[in-house]
Each structure stands twice: as C-alpha cells, then as structure tokens.
Amino acid sequence: MKRKLSVAAMFLFLAFLVWAPVRADAAWKKTGSTYTWYNNKGKKLSSEWIPSKKVGFVKKGKTTYCYKKNGKVYKGWLTVGKDKYYVTPQGKVLTSRWISSGGKRYFASKQGKVYRSCRVKIGSYYYGFNSKGVMLTGKAKVKGKTYYFYKKNGRMVKNAFVTIKGKKYYFGSNGVLGKNVWVKNYYINSSGCVSYNTWVGDKYVGSDGHPVKGLKKIGGSYYYFDKSSGKKLVNATKTVDGVTYKFNSAGKGTVVKDTDKPSVSVQSTYYSDPQVDDETLLAAIIYCEAGNQPYYGQVAVGMVITNRMRSSSFPSKLKEVVYQTSQFSPTFDGALTRALKNQGLITASCKKAAAEVMTKYKTNNYKIQVNGKTVNLKNYLFFMTKPAYNRLNLSTSYTQLGDHVFFKTWK
C-alpha cells in the first residue's frame, strides 16, 4: 500500500513540474526579421516595431519610448532610415513640439519624426527646415523655391518687402520670392530685387523704384511719361514748363526751337545757344556764376533767378530772365554757350542745385539751409561779389553767402 502511495506522489510531482508556469527574464525575441520585447512575465508589449536588432519603439498610453536590445532606454538623437527622432534621457520620444539642441531648433511631428527639407505650418505660422532638420532663418531655398524666414523666430515672411544686403526683395502671399512682376508700384526683376533707374517695357523706374512721371532726361535724351499710366509718350509733341518737345517713335524728345519774340531785350545768344529745358539752363548759369561756391551759394544764385520770374520788374520766363540784356555776363562772354554745348562741364553739384531750386520755385519755398541755420531768400533779386558791390557804392542791406552778397533792391 505504501509503495502505491509513493508512486502516486511521484507522478503528481512530475506533473507539477511539467505544467507549472516558468518565470523568465525580460528580453528581445526574434520573430522573422523583427525583434519584439517581452516583459519578465513573458507578455508581449503592444508596440510599433522596426526591423532592427537594437531599437524598438514602445507606446505606453500617449507616450512613446525607445528601448535598446538590452532593455535600456535610448537617449538623444536617433536616425532610423530616412527619419530622425529625439529621445529624452528618460527614453521618451518627443512629439509635436520644438526641440532646442546645440544652439539650433528642430520640430518633432505628431509621430515624432523631425521635419526635414520642407516648409510646414506650425500653429499660425509657416517655418522651413533644411535636410538635417534645422529650422531655417534668413533667405533660404526649400524644394527649389526661395523664401525668407525671420532671423529672430524663424517665421516665414509673406506679402512683404525685405532688405537683404542693401537690396530690396518681395515675398508674396505664399512666401515665395517674387520675380518679373509689378508689386505696389515697384517692379521686381528676374533676380527678385526691386528695380531702380532702368527701363521696364515702356516705363522707366527712377531712384525711388517707382515709375517716372512727366519729363525725364535719360542718357542724354528727353522722354515724357504719362502722369497716369507712367508710359512714355511717342510720336507726339508736348510743351512742358514753356518748352516744346517733339517725341519720336522711340519716345526720344528734341526741343522745338523757340520762335516766340521775347518780352524784353535779350542777348543775341538767346537765339544761337543750344535749346534746352529750364532745369538744364538753370544748372548751366549756376555753374557759370557760382560753380566754385559752396552748395548753398549755388542754390542761392538759382533762387535769385527764379525770384525774378515772380517779380513784375523782370520777365516771367526763365530763359528771358537769364538772357535779358546786361544782366548775367556768361550770356555774352561765351561761358554759358560753352556750358550748354558741352554739358559735361556742368558739375553734379550745380545740377542738384538747379533741381532743388526748381522744386522750391514750384512749391513757393524760399528757405535754404546754411551751416545749420535757415535763411529766407524771398524777394532777393540781385547778387554779386563783395568787391563789385563796394565798387558800385551800393548802400542796400545784404546777406553774404560764400563769396557773393545777396540783396533785394538796387540802391
């Protein structure tokens, strides 16, 4: 009887050994070409796996972790195929957030993949990323298109002008650099820059980037641009500031010789000198009378001439004022004729002074700046050198500017 009990007990013990669960250590196990992580209870974790011997992504709730083959968490940057991830020291794969690393910024997508070689909307703004995932700043290309991203925060610029190394660029509503297009009265050329001082079809953009309006001297020739459309005038005649121009099929204008009888006695050179517009004539006489004077002295001489045009004691036309008999010696000593025949003699300063004087004349502005002080030249009709003033024994009060004295009445 005892022998039967011993046999039964042995049978039960062996059965227990066969059927009892065996405890195992947590480990990676290979299934085909994929490694799967089993915990220490032998349970397969729910996860997304990749064909790798060392890396496994495990999702726990809303957080994804990354483990090595030995069960330890992965840390830092991780590249899997063409994708790039960032794993915290705790093994968490960052998702849907900005990453700062090594002084550079990256952004991890919802899946944890860092954006690379693309332009992406994050929140309310677009950002660009290079092939390494680094956030772009400044002027940069993304998939063959040029954008600009603010250097401070990386946000993409759109519908705005940006000055880069002294050149003005425009980026459109989609952020792409504009080319060969009119934008806000500027022309964006093939390089994406605003054009200056150049022809654009039948328009000409000036130093401010806007189409020129009215009369303009370009490369030694006169052109007239419609004040509404900005297009050049062709095959037509037009009078501007008392001077008549004839424009050919290319828009180039020539001055029609003035055949009107002057209202006062004039020097013979009035008829024989080259016919030019008022601003050029004014620049030439300023050069002859005050070419060696400081800029404010040149402007003052020009203003005496335009002041005479307002005075009932002198002609109302600039040309008649300049050529009136015995008024300005350059009209009869040959100096003015030489300057008009060779306009390269006229200095840039005198040309600038003439342009300023013409603007002041049209806007009734009589004030000039002299060494930081404002001088009002209204009603000043005469000027000469101080020695000449003394020789003539004149007694009227004057204002001295440079080598010239300026006064209102001759007495």
Domain ranges of the chain: 24-114, 121-195, 210-255, 269-407
> pLDDT tens track of the chain, all 411 residues?
444 444 444 444 434 333 334 344 445 455 554 445 555 566 665 444 443 444 478 888 788 887 777 777 778 898 888 899 999 988 899 999 999 999 999 999 999 999 999 999 999 999 999 999 999 999 999 999 999 999 999 999 999 999 999 999 999 999 999 999 999 999 999 999 999 999 999 999 999 999 999 999 999 899 999 988 999 999 988 888 778 899 999 999 988 866 668 999 999 999 899 888 889 999 999 999 999 999 999 999 999 999 999 999 999 999 999 999 999 999 999 999 999 999 999 999 999 999 999 999 999 999 999 999 999 999 999 999 999 999 999 999 999 999 999 999 999
In terms of CATH architecture, what is 24-114? Ribbon (2.10)
The Cα 351–Cα 341 span in angstroms is: 15
CATH class given for the domain over 210-255:
mainly beta
pLDDT of residue 63: 84
Q: Looking at the domain covering 121-195, what would its CATH class be?
A: mainly beta
Burial (CB count within 10 angstroms: exposed 0-12, middle 13-18, buried 19+), residue 210: middle
Q: Whole-prediction pTM value?
A: 0.51
3-state secondary structure of 41: coil
DSSP one-letter code for 109: -
- Contacts of residue 43, defined as CB under 8 A and 6 or more positions apart, other chains included, come to none
Instruction: Look at residue 241 in the predicted model and tell me its pLDDT.
Output: 76
Positive/negative CA dihedral, 84, 87, 91, 92: negative
Smallest Cα–Cα separation from 222: which of 211, 230, 234?
234
Residue in the block written with tokens 């290319």 = 250
Q: What is the pLDDT of residue 22?
A: 36
User: Same CATH fold, 210-255 and 24-114?
Assistant: yes
CA-closest candidate to residue 275, choices 288, 290, 264, 260:
260
What Rg, from alpha-carbon coordinates, does the chain have? Answer: 43
Distance separating alpha carbons of residues 266 and 264, to the nearest angstrom: 6
| Cα–Cα nearest to 307, from 407, 383, 379 | 379
pLDDT of residue 325: 97
pLDDT confidence of residue 54: 42
